[in-house]
Amino acid sequence: MDLAPIPRTAVSDTIFVRLVEEILTGRLPAGEPLPSERELSLTLQVNRHAVREALKRLQQAGLVRISHGGKTRVLDWRESAGLDALTGLALAGVIPARQIIGDVAVMRRSIAADAARLCARSASAQQRSVITAAAKAYPVSGELDLVIDADLTFWIAVIDGSGNIAYRLALNTLVAAYDEIGREAIYALGAAEFADRSAHIDLAAAIAAADEAAAYRLAEELLTRFVAACQADTEGEG
């Protein structure tokens, strides 16, 4: 393995990112053992504590298996990794960023539409009020910075109102992935969805009325716009 030394000012985060890239690109193949902590610390010119912390994070991400007293082996990320690997895949160039954004858009649509349905069914009066207020506070101008914050505030309220903790954690992961890839560019691509104030207000009204079918339909229609934009962008690139 040919790795350049880590700058002395770096910490375990940098080691983690470097090793993620090596694993996701296949330069560290699945099934192969990683060098020992001592070997990694010497190669990367960092202390062993930083290496140990990075390896723990790799294990938490499902990229390696640490065997006490044995070798730390690389896992097949397609079988063991979670959503947290999205950012690493994009940064490492293993899968084109456009494909990842499109795949995330499809997943986001599925989760958000069902969350809207669940929210219409079971949200409390206070949660419905928060969603209505978030929709009414949506910017009229469509200015990107304002739209980004307003859209995230709205969907956090909807997903919290659904009561599904898995959906909430998935949202956190998707937001982190978008931040790493470039949220401004993503929102600009999906302007037909993100800047539509009236569509957010209509969806909030369906949720407030406890109309599950309408909430699902309106959410799916709204989020399909971004999916379509991603598909058109990918086709245009090809």
Distance of CA 153 to the CA centre of its chain: 16
Cα(13)–Cα(187) distance, integer angstroms? 27
Domain ranges of the chain: 11-74, 84-232
pLDDT (0 to 100) of residue 78: 87
The token duo for 108 is: 């986001």
Q: How many Cα neighbours within 13 Å face the side chain of 186?
A: 22
Q: What was the pLDDT predicted at 122?
A: 97
Question: What pLDDT, on the 0 to 100 scale, is given for residue 236?
Answer: 64
Query: Quick one: 71 exposed, middle or buried, by C-beta within 10 A (0-12, 13-18, 19+)?
Result: middle
**pLDDT tens-place values along the chain, 238 residues long:** 666 665 544 568 788 888 988 888 889 999 999 999 999 999 988 899 999 999 998 998 889 999 877 789 999 988 988 777 777 776 667 677 788 888 889 999 999 999 999 999 999 999 999 999 999 999 998 788 889 999 999 999 999 999 999 999 999 888 887 887 888 888 888 888 999 999 999 999 999 999 999 999 999 999 999 999 998 877 666 5
Quote the CA–CA distance of 41 and 55 in Å, as a whole number.
12
* Cα angle value 170/159/172 (rounded, 5°): 30
For 11-74, CATH number out of 3.30.1360.20, 3.40.1160.10, 1.10.10.10, 1.10.3720.10 equals 1.10.10.10
Question: What is the fold of 84-232?
Answer: Four Helix Bundle (Hemerythrin (Met), subunit A) (1.20.120)
* 11-74 and 84-232 in the same fold: no
Place of tokens 């800047």: 195
Residue 104's nearest CA partner among 49, 179, 42, 27 is 179
Q: 83: which 2 tokens?
A: 């959503």
The residues, ordered by sequence, that sit 6+ positions from 133 with a Cβ below 8 Å of its Cβ are none
What are the backbone angles phi and psi of residue 151, rounded to the nearest 5°? Answer: -65, -45
Residue 9 confidence (pLDDT): 46
